[in-house]
Every structure is written in C-alpha cells, then in structure tokens.
Amino acid sequence: MTADTTVTQSLDLAALARSYQSGALKPSALIDAVFARIAARGDDAVWIHLLPKAAVLVAAQELEARKHAGDDLPLYGVPFAVKDNIDVAGLPTTAACPSFSHIAQDTAPVVAKLMAAGALLIGKTNLDQFATGLVGTRSPYGAPSCVFDADYISGGSSSGSAVAVAAGLVSFALGSDTAGSGRVPAAFNNIVGWKPTRGLLSSRGLVPACRTLDCISVFALTCDDASAVGQIVSGYDGADPYSRDGSQRALPSAFHFGVPAHSDLTFFGDTAAAALFDQAIATLESCGGRRVEIDFAPFREAAALLYDGPWVAERLAAIGPFLAEHPKALLPVTESIISAASALKASDAFLAFYRLQELKRQTESTWRSIDVLAVPTAATIFKKSAVEADPLGLNSKLGYYTNFANLLDLAAVAVPAGFRSNSLPFGISLLAPAFTDDALCELAGRFHAARGGELGAMGTRLPSAAAHIHLAVVGAHLQGQPLNHQLTSRGAYLVTTTRTSTDYKLYALSGTIPPKPGLVLEPGFVGPGIELEVWAMNAAAFGTFVDAVPSPLAIGTAVLASGQQVKCFVCEPAALLGAEDITKYGGWRAYLARKDETSQRRDAAITTEK
C-alpha cells in the first residue's frame, strides 16, 4: 500500500479487515499512519500517555509473525485506546489527577482480552477528573474539543477516547460510563457509544467512580464494530464482585419503542436537535418500530437521584483515602461535587434506595408496553466558554437523558442521528433492560444504516444497509477451519460471533469432505443455541460464494439469539440419515474438541494395552 493510501485508510474494522486480507496493508504500516495522524493534530489534549511509536511498531511486527504462524487474531492489527482510569500494566494510571498517578501492576481483564485478540494499544486518553462530569473540560491535561468545532465541548467524562475514535486515530476506544460518560461524547463526535449491561464486562482495573454503577464502555465507528469488540471483552469474571452472568435476550422484529411524552421532552432551546429527534423517530418507524408515548417521569426522577442523592457519596468512598493524604489534589469543580457527600447520612442512602426501588417498579409497567426506549443522547451541545461560566448547571442538563440508565439496570447504545445546519452532530440512545446488548447493537446498526452519513469526522461514508450481505457459518467455514479461505478470498470480513436462537439442532453429517455439520430448525425445541460466526461481503462476492455451495448444504435464513435474521448455511433433510446429533455441544468447535479428546484417550488406552 502506498503511503498516501495508508494515511487515508478508514479505521473501521470492516475496512481494515479487507485491507489486511488483500495484502494491501500490514499492521506496521498502519501504525506509521496512525502516529502521523496523531502528530498532525498537534496538542489536542486527547492523550495523557501516548505509547512510544517504536514500541507499538515492535508489537505490530510480533502480531504479523503470529498471524503468519496461524494464530487466531479476530482483532488483528486493530489500533485502540484506553481511558486513563483503566489499568494497563507498566503504564501510569492518572484518572486525570497528577497526584494520583501510579504505575499499574496488572492489566485490566478487558484490555488483556483485546490485546490477546490482536488489538494494538496506542495510548491512554484524557477524561474529566475521576470520571466526574459529562463535559470533557475537567482535566489538568487540557480539554479535548468536539471534532467538528473547536469552540464546542467534546463531552465527557470519556473525552479523549471519543475524540480519538472520531478523528481516526484509533478504530475503537474504551471509556467508562456511570452517568452517561460512554454516550454523551459519542453524540458530540458522531460515533457509536455502547454502554453495556452492568457487570457484563469486568470492571477490575477500573478506578471506581460509583462502584455499584460503573461500566467499562466501548466507542466505535459503527455498531458492528462495537458488537465485535463486545463479543471479545464480555464475560463473567469471578474475581470481580460486581460481574454478572446472564444470557442475552432478543428483541422482536416488530418492536415497540417508547418516546417521552411531549411535556417531558426538552432540548433547552435547541430547535435543530428537536427536529433531528423527530426525524430519528420516523427512521425507527421505517425500521419496523411502532412508537409508544410513555410517562418519562420515573426515569427523570431516577436520573436526578444520581447527583442530587446519596450516590455522590460513592465517589467520595472511591477516593477517600487518597483525598485524606492529598486534600488539595482535585480541581475545584471536582472537589465541589465530591465534597457534597460529607453532608449525607447513612439514612439518606437507605431512603434513596427505597425510592429507587419504587421508581423501578413504576417503570415495569412501561417495559410491558415497549421493547426499547428511544431518547436524545443529549438535549443539546454547549460551547466551552458557556461550560466554563456555568460548569455545574450545564453539566446537569447533559445528564437529563442519561443519568438513569445504570440506576435502572438498562443497557444502552448511543448512535449518530444526523447534523444540525451548523455542522454539529446529534445522536439518539436506544435503551432496554439488562442483557439486551446484542439486540440493541443490531437495532442501532439498522437505524444507523438507514440514517446514513459519515463515520466520525474522517469523511468515510457509512455503507448503506444493502451494501453488504451478512452470512452466518457454523462449521467448516469458521475461522481456523479448512474452508474459511472461501470467505476471506472474497474479501468477506467477520462481523460477530454469536449463537442461534434456541430452536436449532446441529448434526455431524456423514461422508462429507472436509467434515461438515448441518444446521436444522426444529420449532418448539429448546436447546443451547448453536455457536456461529456472522461474516459480511458484497453482493457480487456473495453470489459467487452461493454458487459454489455443494449439496447437501444450502443457504437459507436463520434466527440469531438477538432475534436478528441472517442468511445462513442450512441442511437438506435427506442428509440427516446416519448423521450424529451434536446439539448438546453447542457448536462445531466444541464438538471437534470433544472428538479430539476422545480420540486421544482411545490412543492412550491402546498404547497402555500394548
């Protein structure tokens, strides 16, 4: 790849995968381009700690060697950043407080998983101090700006992470989200922000803000990218007392989405944002949704509890010992927020717990009538000068549609929804009860494709909904299996790893070369769901691929655990004669692994007998 082409390379995962698979790009060449982009932006206050380019190049070259050796690297050569309240061994963690800075001894599990999958860490990003704020201006390391207008705030607290993605410096970045820090900066920079179900991602290695509510979040250019990262970093962590293990829940294809009643909708005078929200509602309806007006009052009251109630005391609990030793370490605005906790009593906390439980009960009736809640991610966006003049009041306004999510145990995805006439972006958030993350990302992706537009601020257009066809594979075409090359040679790229709905069975077919499974729908059957990979390719490539599919396999349609329908390998009924039912293994890889274990035990027994 030429230098000029490398510099203009889009960093979304699909584009990177195509460039790597074609041989036009190597990770080491991409790193040269990434550091050139970072240098070209100058002092943009995005980074607190940028890794030395030489060290990242060494890591890239090691990755190239691993790939050549056949290692499975689903995030091969993908550059990413980490918010500087998340630990990476050997690097400083500051939480945007110089006195707090210390060298981390261990790497947070989510970061370790990403690096093991082939992602390349570029550096650690700026934030509102101790993740306290939604504005992105509360840092002694400077205030990142909205990528579309330097006079406007970037949003926070995950300011640097969002700007790094939107500016094309990394493909994705980790943030954190307690009150909306993983969503507001996404809206202000035209990218996707996924706030997972609490406990779905391990929070070990995260400097706590409100430990009972904190989530590590993901910023990405597309919902598919956020989902792909999510598949790698999600998972129960027994060493994290707040980790949770739950099955993902589907959303119906014909879904009902809630919208706050007109009296509860506020945009603080931003009429352009109000018009864009109306357009977003129409787009959701075109995606198969039916609008339902809801009573937003319990959500609004829950949001107010986060800062006006005793949860602010959790912030004091998180850093109390540090503050006792460094009483002058905080910025004045951060100190004013956290010091308010000193006036709270234990009884205040219990009263707030009781009220929150009452509000949760009130929202239960709402969730019986809707599947998804759609709200503006932020009502408006402010200039830096305005935030400087009123740091607390304007910050509070930015949390109107975000602060309730973790208190009410909701998953959320912030997704771009257009631009105002002054070229500032607007976004909406889709929220649903816990463990609907996969389905929310899929729905948000459909909305994003229907709205169209650019990815971040790099000028790359989001592919239209019809630009690529998704194909699910369950056997010999999986990564690392003998026919995977039939996908990669056509420029196909991996979108996500997931499972079918529960009413599918899997059979090991007899006499196929190489060995292949057959996927069969059996309505009413309740099984584990079958592991599969979803790949994407353009229509022409899909046509040549389908033309080469041999009997007894065929391409049909399968329903995923999220409720999404995709094209998928299915099996002709006649092929089941003599086939082995391997559904109990939950997937082809697990079946092959068990088969290998059985073979090894048999060989060992024969050797012993001899």
Annotated catalytic sites, by residue?
A: 83, 157, 181
Q: Please report how many Cα atoms fall inside a 13 Å half-sphere around the Cα of residue 67, on the Cβ side.
A: 20
Torsion of CA 341, 345, 350, 355, to 10 degrees: -60
Sequence length of the chain is 610
* Residue 248, token pair as written in the block: 């993902």
DSSP E strand boundaries for 156-299? 172-177, 192-195, 215-220, 256-260, 290-294
Paired sense of beta strands 145-146 and 149-153, if any: antiparallel
* Residue 598, token pair as written in the block: 């059985």
- The DSSP code sequence of 301-351 is HHHHHHHHSTTHHHHHHHHHHHHHH-TT-S-HHHHHHHHGGGG--HHHHHH
* Residue 584 phi, psi dihedral angles, 5° rounding: -60, -20
Nearest-10 crossing angle of helices 437-451, 223-233: 160
Q: Is 92 strand, coil or helix?
A: strand
CB 284 within 8 A of CB 257: yes
The Cβ of residue 76 has, within 10 Å, a number of other Cβ atoms equal to: 20
DSSP E strand boundaries for 114-232? 120-125, 145-146, 149-153, 172-177, 192-195, 215-220
Cα-to-chain-centroid distance, residue 369 = 27
Distance CA(110)–CA(119), nearest Å, equals: 12
